[in-house]
Structure 1
Amino acid sequence: MMFNDEKEMLEFYKRYAYVVGFPVRKRNSKKGDDGVMRYVTFTCSREGRRNYATGGSLKPQPTSQTDCKARISASLDNLGVWRINKVYLDHNHKTSPSQSRLYRCNRILSASVKRKLQVNDMAGIPLHKSYNSAVVEAGGYENTTFVERDCRNYVDQERRLRLGEGDAIALQAYSSKMQARCSGFFFSMDLDGESRLKNVFWEDNRCRQAYKEFGDVVTFDTTYITNKYDMPFAPFVGVNHHGQNTLLGCGLLSNEETGTFVGLFRTWLECMHGEAPRGIITNQDRAMQNAIEIIFSKTKHRWCLWHIMKKLPEKFGYLSQKSSNFAAIHGLVYDSDIVDEFEEGWRSMLDTYDLHDNDWLSRLYENRNRWVPCYLKTTFWAGMSTTQRSKSMNAFFDGYMHSKTSLKQFVEQYERGLRSKVEKEFQADFRSFSQMVPCATAFQMEKQFQAVYTIPKFKEVQQEFIGKVYCDIVSENTNDHFWTTYDVREHVVYQEHRKKKTFHVSLQRESCELICSCRQFEFRGIICRHAIAILIRNDITTMPDRYILKRWMRDVSRAHTRVAVNYDGLMSTPEQLRYDDMCRAFSEVADLAANDDGWTRSIMDWIKSQASDLRMSISSI
């Protein structure tokens, strides 16, 4: 191929790369004796390999370099024409056309966008509004040539919600519109005897599908808005495979009484096809607790630890020894690994500070299995112990409201807020797809996690491999049931304070089953440094599959990512569009066959056969 100039050739290669799905850059160039550029090479941006100091870094940064060899080289002939003389098209990594817009080489702020950002900033308009305006003007995220980070978007403003006249009718129209667009959209409204709006609950199909993946543990909180909004905003929040907040439903409430929460929880459970979460985190609100016992009777309920600990100055500020009392309670709560240790320490604290008659402490002790970590750490909580995720979700949506926002406008702004949340997850998927964090150790087990986990979760695992250097195995004891118990002493460093702490790790060598007294894996789903030390001690080089959770993997096909969110301007990937086309086709077939038992059986048999064939084909890839 031939081009008139270097720029034309680069633009052609960039267009090709955009369609294939990889980033490009100018690798090198060379001038002739006359000082004119005569040789140039453009490569995939994942070319090259980052060099690290001997021993590696304890906090290595993500890198996208994989030593990819894809490139084109060209030279300038005597007629002033650029001729491509070398082409290598094969990549040593995956490519993805749907993610091309996020690569740095394809992101650019146009002169008009830059000018608009400058003028709006001088006028005092928050940057996130300028960014949203540019996204709407472009027709959606997929049509923009920049991301929010490029505009350095950060805004934190106090907002309030006011119920406006006629909002109940507007909400009914909104729900009808959304249900017509998407059969999976769920909406519920409660009216009082005078047909005035009391409570609202809604959830789009994407959140319902996300619940299947991340609905094992949810946080629920309304206190952030109680004194600011006429109707408290009540989100159900989970944590996704990147450790980000993910919305699993929300409501607007007329009050915070038991009956109101019962109605909300029952509606939410109905929306989730009767599948209750395994764990829920709330504050100490008695009305919430009553409603949870009624609706989620089999769900493990814990109180927000942060809410409890922040009350210490209020409850014990009168004590002359308040500092030492605070330290004693903190030590009991955070350092007690077993129940007996906490019980003994609690009795000692009551005696030392003469607190036997303190009603607040007595009530806390009666409910210790709802908040003290050593009572809860054998249950999976995805690493959560507070309702801060609900609060941050409230704060997130707060950035899209103001004091004069009507309820109708609230729902519209909620859509924009959720669009942004979905985009952040998509960008996090992109980072885990296109980059990797180098291993900090030479252990094969760390490479196992590097190959499958998202970047944030791999970093958590990596810290455990790094933390192994602080662990010493001080004793070993084998019992009659083929279990060997090790005492692992860790040099714990916290805020410049150092201490030695002993953990007990039991290993069943034959099955490679591990139980550590810290219970980090059970609580967070992340293997602990003490268990890693024992595996290495026993020359076990491969991490057992049970300790690599699908929940934190990056290359898992998740149902919610295939649901095209029906908000105006939101991107729909080719996979999402194909998914929607198939759903519509299946729905038409179901409508035709449902009235005849024979046709129904025939169609179902065919679907089962196709599903079986597809599963076999996918597993063989």
Structure 2
Amino acid sequence: MTETYKWVLRCFLECMEGKQPKAVVTNGDGAMREAIKQIFPDANHRLCTWHLNKNASENVKNRNNFLDGFSKVMYSNFTIDEFEEYWSQMIKENGVQGHPWVVKTYENRSLWATAYLRDNFFGRIRTMSQYEAINAIIKSYVRKQGCIFEFMNNFDQATRDYRNNELVADFKPSSIDPVLSTQLPVIESHAGKIYTAKLFKEVRHEILKAGELIVRDKSEVGGRKTYRLTKFCKDGYERSVVYDGSTFKCSCKRFESRGIPCSHIFYVMKEEHVDRIPSNLVLTRWTKDAKIQFLNSSNCNDNVDLNMIAEACFGSYCMVLTEFCKEASKKDGVYAQIMEDLMQLKKSIAVKMMMQSVHKSQ
């Protein structure tokens, strides 16, 4: 079975022009794990949390407290010491110290516990749910008795419909400023302007959490300031943030693992009167103009799928023009001028594209 997986991964690598993935999420299959080690030796590997929760409920029955505790140690942003302490206490309270599944799962903790994965970025993917969702979509377009021609035609249709979800999302307004609700409105406003709506909600939650933090100690050495923070009425809690005047680095490593600044960094930003999220703490993939930046950079990349670029451009153009048309249609006496301007724009773009075509042919 390992050899089969290795063949599949080699084919994937060929399709990706030799570019290996940085992270892989699997259901824990041993043959697949071995294949990944050999074909993608540098990829960070983690186990699907959904499958782990399912296995826990099937193997450790009548232990609801254990299941709750297991979910906590799997998802919580513990340090390694905090994880070990909580795990030891949890298995004692539930009397599962010698349970075979518990022992084996603990041995593989570096593949599923957030405490051991905080240095690795997985693009916010913890489960194989996206893969399962794609499978469900494809199954609705194909049948076992179909021929290969029918399969390819249906698969192409499924792919177009799946990509259409992104195009539909692009029609939604992305320039609307959210209602501010935190005690750091300047930082919150900046976050609302750069992050997508979904990511902004999580970033705002981190800004809100900064309100319960307290400075335990502050020191400065050679221009580097170190803040040791604790939580209100939680003296056992401690995190440290280092600020050198331009960059922030927190011991909780939320940015390294989740790609957004943590509440501890937002608190230190307030203390240091920093009113904008530094660019080195903003991942392009989470921003509203991520597609625009990709399209601009892809103009010089001959390896990018041209069809994908065309679809992405179409979605971006539609998003902007739809909003423009909505506003323009409400104005009286501007129709003729707007249509004239649009036609002039269309002609100028056509001329520019023709000139580019002539230049390339030479």
**Any idea what SS the aligned residue of 1:506 has?**
strand
Task: State the alpha-carbon separation in 2 of the partners of residues 588 and 349 from structure 1.
Answer: 70
Indicate conservation of the 8 Å contact 1:564/1:580, yes or no. Answer: no
Q: Name the residue aligned to 1:455.
A: 197
**Any idea what SS the aligned residue of 1:400 has?**
coil
| 2:294 matches 1:558 | yes
Task: State the alpha-carbon separation in 2 of the partners of residues 501 and 529 from structure 1.
Answer: 17
Give the counterpart of 2:83 among 342, 346, 370: 342
Counterpart mapping for 1:107-118 below 5 A: none
| 2:152 matches 1:411 | yes
Q: Name the residue aligned to 2:256.
A: 522
Task: State the alpha-carbon separation in 1 of the partners of residues 280 and 17 from structure 2.
Answer: 28
| 2:132 matches 1:391 | yes
Q: Name the residue aligned to 2:188.
A: 446
Q: Name the residue aligned to 1:507.
A: 242
**1:386 CA drift (Å):** 1.1
**1:288 CA drift (Å):** 1.0
| 2:69 matches 1:328 | yes
**1:406 CA drift (Å):** 3.8
Q: Name the residue aligned to 2:40.
A: 296
Give the counterpart of 2:22 among 275, 278, 281: 278
Task: Give a deviation string over 1:42-95, Cα, whole Å, max 9, x none.
Answer: xxxxxxxxxxxxxxxxxxxxxxxxxxxxxxxxxxxxxxxxxxxxxxxxxxxxxx
Give the counterpart of 1:537 among 253, 257, 271: 271
**Any idea what SS the aligned residue of 1:310 has?**
helix
Task: State the alpha-carbon separation in 1 of the partners of residues 70 and 133 from structure 2.
Answer: 27
Indicate conservation of the 8 Å contact 1:381/1:524, yes or no. Answer: yes
Q: Name the residue aligned to 2:2.
A: 258
Task: State the alpha-carbon separation in 1 of the partners of residues 166 and 40 from structure 2.
Answer: 29
Counterpart mapping for 1:146-157 below 5 A: none
Task: State the alpha-carbon separation in 2 of the partners of residues 582 and 294 from structure 1.
Answer: 49
Q: Name the residue aligned to 2:108.
A: 367
**1:547 CA drift (Å):** 1.0
Counterpart mapping for 1:24-173 below 5 A: none
Task: State the alpha-carbon separation in 2 of the partners of residues 417 and 582 from structure 1.
Answer: 37
**Any idea what SS the aligned residue of 1:311 has?**
helix
Indicate conservation of the 8 Å contact 2:215/2:227, yes or no. Answer: no
Summarize the Cα distance change of 1:466–1:353 in structure 2 as closer, same or farther, 3 Å threshold.
closer
Task: State the alpha-carbon separation in 1 of the partners of residues 315 and 59 from structure 2.
Answer: 57
**1:280 CA drift (Å):** 0.9
Q: In terms of mean alpha carbon deviation, does 392-401 or 342-351 score higher? A: 342-351
**1:521 CA drift (Å):** 1.5
Summarize the Cα distance change of 1:546–1:434 in structure 2 as closer, same or farther, 3 Å threshold.
closer
**Any idea what SS the aligned residue of 1:477 has?**
strand
Summarize the Cα distance change of 1:564–1:510 in structure 2 as closer, same or farther, 3 Å threshold.
closer
**1:411 CA drift (Å):** 2.2
Indicate conservation of the 8 Å contact 1:468/1:532, yes or no. Answer: yes
TM-score by length of 1: 0.46
Give the counterpart of 2:142 among 401, 406, 430: 401
Q: Name the residue aligned to 1:28.
A: none
**Any idea what SS the aligned residue of 2:172 has?**
helix
Indicate conservation of the 8 Å contact 2:229/2:240, yes or no. Answer: yes
Counterpart mapping for 1:578-597 below 5 A: none
Long gaps (5+) in structure 2: 318-348
**Any idea what SS the aligned residue of 1:392 has?**
helix
What RMSD over aligned residues (CA atoms) do the two structures have, in Å?
A: 3.5
Indicate conservation of the 8 Å contact 2:242/2:248, yes or no. Answer: yes
Q: In terms of mean alpha carbon deviation, does 434-443 or 457-466 score higher? A: 434-443
Task: State the alpha-carbon separation in 1 of the partners of residues 158 and 285 from structure 2.
Answer: 25
AA of the residue aligned to 2:197: I
Summarize the Cα distance change of 1:336–1:463 in structure 2 as closer, same or farther, 3 Å threshold.
closer
Q: Which has the higher helix share?
A: 2
Give the counterpart of 1:429 among 141, 146, 170: 170
Q: Name the residue aligned to 1:420.
A: 161
Indicate conservation of the 8 Å contact 1:439/1:462, yes or no. Answer: no
Indicate conservation of the 8 Å contact 1:436/1:450, yes or no. Answer: yes
TM-score by length of 2: 0.75
**1:278 CA drift (Å):** 1.1
Counterpart mapping for 1:169-318 below 5 A: 257-317=1-61
Summarize the Cα distance change of 1:587–1:399 in structure 2 as closer, same or farther, 3 Å threshold.
farther
**Any idea what SS the aligned residue of 1:475 has?**
strand
**1:348 CA drift (Å):** 3.6
Indicate conservation of the 8 Å contact 1:473/1:488, yes or no. Answer: yes
Q: How many residues align?
A: 318
Indicate conservation of the 8 Å contact 1:505/1:531, yes or no. Answer: no
Task: Give a deviation string over 1:379-435, Cα, whole Å, max 9, x none.
Answer: 111211111111112122233234544443232222122212222212323325454
Question: Higher Cα Rg: structure 1 or 2?
Answer: 1
Task: Give a deviation string over 1:136-166, Cα, whole Å, max 9, x none.
Answer: xxxxxxxxxxxxxxxxxxxxxxxxxxxxxxx
Task: State the alpha-carbon separation in 1 of the partners of residues 177 and 314 from structure 2.
Answer: 24
Q: Name the residue aligned to 2:281.
A: 547
Indicate conservation of the 8 Å contact 2:118/2:254, yes or no. Answer: yes
Task: State the alpha-carbon separation in 2 of the partners of residues 581 and 366 from structure 1.
Answer: 63
Indicate conservation of the 8 Å contact 2:170/2:316, yes or no. Answer: no
Indicate conservation of the 8 Å contact 1:382/1:524, yes or no. Answer: yes
Task: State the alpha-carbon separation in 1 of the partners of residues 29 and 357 from structure 2.
Answer: 44
**1:339 CA drift (Å):** 0.8
